[in-house]
Amino acid sequence: MANSAQREGVAAGATLNRDAAPGETLLKVTGLQKHFPIRKGLLQRQVGAVRAVDGLDFEVKSGETLGVVGESGCGKSTMGRLITRLLEPTAGKVEFEGKDITHLGVGAMRPMRRDVQMIFQDPYSSLNPRHTIGTIISAPFKLQGVTPEGGVKKEVQRLLSVVGLNPEHYNRYPHEFSGGQRQRIGIARALALNPKMVVADEPVSALDVSIQAQVVNLLDDLQQELGLTYVIIAHDLSVVRHVSDRIAVMYLGKIVELADRDSLYKAPMHPYTKALMSAVPIPDPRRKSAKSERILLQGDVPSPISPPSGCRFHTRCWKATEICKTTEPPLLELKPGQQVACHHPENFEDQAPQDTVLLTVAKQAAELVADEVLAESAATSAAVAAEVTATPAEKPAVTEKPVVTETSAVAAPEDEAPAKEK
């Protein structure tokens, strides 16, 4: 937690107006796509495309933290680079503060670059080893042609103290710092121009567990002090669950569920979200004796070059029926604040009967599926439920890969849990 002197420093350095009031839409993305062409032969003819991001619709509200999770290769980093305009979209629209920035050129993007900054996963390779910390943190001023009040050196020292580093160390080199300290340097560089939105791509996954908690806490404190808006990308839910207001779950270039943090944790509706959540160990000693429900997904993530037809998750989903193979489920708001793309969502019987909007959507979903198909789906659900609650001795040996394999390294013990619940 930064001390009050640092907070005053932060306030003193805050020179840009916050145009969007808290809760207003800061970023809006519509039908966003990024297809990377695959070229072959001497003529470099296009023979296909990696559909890394394949139609995203979402908003980020001013002052909130949107967590984005999904397995490796589902397009999270590509999405991050598209919304910061480090990549040019293939299709779709990106609006920042109501302004269409989808195809702005370098010059027109320059003012926007101050408002949106990115923090990268690897604090080792994202800092130039030949530059001092002072040079690294002051680079954004040079790029933007900005001279901070009081001079560059004073501002760099202020930023160092804001992120919890010794201001006297501005002449040192990256190798003199630990991993966590280097990520703090990356954060200081991102904050230099007093941005409105920060996109953090797996900001702590390269760090030790105890250090992860400190860096996540720092991001959380900075958000409250500076009124920042975050998009935090992670490969599983254990990091984002503590700091996100809303969470988007991605699978093969699409958002399959987007919900308020609490709704998502209390009652995930997409089978993939449920599987992701079951893979996160709960660091609660009181629940150690409780049997943990683990859903092990079969097979690997399919290739984004030729994604499965219909629902892209159908090749691994235990609830998949015929319609899942043929018809892509649209992302619909099935409960207030919870959008889901699934023909047979979980936790759907909890709906309020008086909610007519909900009932209409439920009816539409039910009408799409034949009775025998629903019965078959119920039978497979029951079989999976029996399987996951069976004692280990009764269980057949599992050969499939768990959906997330690195969760144990990420989950912190209770006393080190990243950030406090908001």
Ligand X SMILES: Nc1ncnc2c1ncn2[C@@H]1O[C@H](COP(=O)(O)OP(=O)(O)OP(=O)(O)O)[C@@H](O)[C@H]1O
Binding residues for ligand X, rule: CB under 6 A, are 36, 50, 52, 70, 72-78, 235, 304
Q: According to the binding rule CB under 6 A, does residue 311 interact with ligand SF4?
A: yes
Per CB under 5 A, the segment of 16-24, 74-82, 163-171, 392-400 that binds Mg ion is 74-82
**How far is the C-alpha of 176 from the C-alpha of 136, rounded, in Å?**
14
Q: How many residues does the chain have?
A: 422
Q: Cβ(125)–Cβ(206) under 8 Å?
A: no
Q: Own/partner pairs for 314-323, CB < 8 Å, 24+ apart? A: 317/271, 317/272, 318/271, 318/380, 318/381, 318/384, 319/271, 319/344, 319/377, 319/380, 319/381, 321/369, 321/373, 321/374, 321/376, 321/377, 322/373, 323/368, 323/369, 323/373
Q: Tell which residue, 38, 10, 51, has the closest CA to residue 308.
A: 51
Per CB under 5 A, the segment of 69-77, 220-228, 283-291, 359-367 that binds Mg ion is 69-77
Min dist CB 343 to ligand SF4, Å, is 4
Q: Which does 314 bind (CB under 5 to 8 A by kind): ligand SF4, Mg ion, ligand X, none?
A: ligand SF4
Min dist CB 363 to ligand SF4, Å, is 17
Q: CB 323: neighbour CB atoms within 10 A?
A: 19
Q: Which does 271 bind (CB under 5 to 8 A by kind): ligand X, Mg ion, ligand SF4, none?
A: ligand SF4
From candidates 200, 324, 410, 417, binder to ligand SF4 by CB under 6 A: 324
Pairing of β 254-260 and β 338-340: antiparallel
- Residue closer to ligand SF4 by CB (options 240, 311) is 311
Q: According to the binding rule CB under 5 A, does residue 78 interact with Mg ion?
A: no
Min dist CB 74 to ligand SF4, Å, is 14
Q: According to the binding rule CB under 5 A, does residue 263 interact with Mg ion?
A: no
From candidates 165, 342, 369, 404, binder to ligand SF4 by CB under 6 A: 342
What's the CA dihedral at 15, 105, 143, 113 to 10 degrees? Answer: 30
From candidates 77, 212, 217, 338, binder to Mg ion by CB under 5 A: 77
Binding interface with Mg ion (CB under 5 A): 77
